[in-house]
Amino acid sequence: DVKVTQSSRYLVKRTGEKVFLECVQDMDHENMFWYRQDPGLGLRLIYFSYDVKMKEKGDIPEGYSVSREKKERFSLILESASTNQTSMYLCASHVKSSTGELFFGEGSRLTVL
Amino acid sequence: AQKITQTQPGMFVQEKEAVTLDCTYDTSDPSYGLFWYKQPSSGEMIFLIYQGSYDQQNATEGRYSLNFQKARKSANLVISASQLGDSAMYFCAMREVNNAGNMLTFGGGTRLMVKP
């Protein structure tokens, strides 16, 4: 079965802390994505990666960075967390040549106090 | 301009009745795809159905069907015979292609509540 695993389901951090959200997929997918989900706004793309060490900005990259050192792992980094980054974060992946169907992780709910 | 619009923030439906969730989209690309995902309260995103822009027939998957009206740029999800387990958030998404490959853009979602 297809599997996308996010390291933490729930995190509580303080303003100014550095936050790492890890995502691992076991499907050998080329493309990986980080979305942020907020009520009424749906899912908004933060960053994506189409290959190891490659990254592209999505619609809302400000305040975030990413790392993809291995094909199966895509990390989202909040260098200095702020309260407006309290949200649900969803990692997803797909095969480059597919219809585009995304396979999602279970999500990481981050609260920044 | 928003590419994917879901105009119904929340909806109620009686158990065993059919319900239609609306989705309109905007693109100038002749090749695109439309998806519906379900998100129960547990948080995982579950793929429901896919429609390609060149597909001649409306997609169906069990109790789910996609009412694709290309000229109107709408891709409504129809759920027949609603069940209590259908209570969830539903997201419409559109696939476009850029130089990095396929990209999905999501609508704001519709929360469906099934009444017993």
Q: Are A77 and A12 in contact (CB under 8 A)?
A: no
Give the distance from CA A47 to its chain's centroid.
7
- Partner residues linked to B38 by β-bridges: B46, B90
Best to test chain A binding among B45, B92, B95, B105 (most A CBs inside 10 Å): B45
The count of CB pairs under 8 A between chains A and B is 66
DSSP letters, B31-77, are S-EEEEEEE-TT---EEEEEEETT-SS--EETTEEEEEETTTTEEEE
Residue type, A32: M
Q: How confident is the model at residue A1 (pLDDT cuts 50, 70, 90)?
A: low
Q: How confident is the model at residue A18 (pLDDT cuts 50, 70, 90)?
A: very high
Q: What is the pLDDT of residue B12?
A: 97
Rounded Cα–Cα distance for residues A8 and A4 (Å):
12
- Is the predicted pLDDT of residue A2 greater than 90, yes or no? no
For chain A, how long is the longest CA-to-CA vector?
A: 41
A60 close to B (CB below 8 A): no
Q: What is the pLDDT of residue B70?
A: 94
CB contact under 8 A, A42 and B103: no
pLDDT tens by residue, B17-55? 999 999 999 998 888 999 999 999 988 899 999 999 999
CB contact under 8 A, B106 and A107: no
Q: Token digits for A79? A: 């260098």
Q: How confident is the model at residue A99 (pLDDT cuts 50, 70, 90)?
A: confident
CB contact under 8 A, B47 and A101: yes
A48 close to B (CB below 8 A): yes
**Chain B residues contacting A, CB < 8 Å?**
4, 6, 9, 33, 35, 37, 42-45, 47, 50, 52, 91, 93, 95, 100-109
Sign of CA dihedral B9, B12, B15, B20: negative
Question: Chain B residue with minimal CA distance to A30?
Answer: B101
Residue type, A110: L
As a dihedral over the C-alpha atoms of residue A63, residue B94, residue B24, residue B2, rounded to 10 degrees, the angle is 30
Question: Chain A residue with minimal CA distance to B44?
Answer: A106
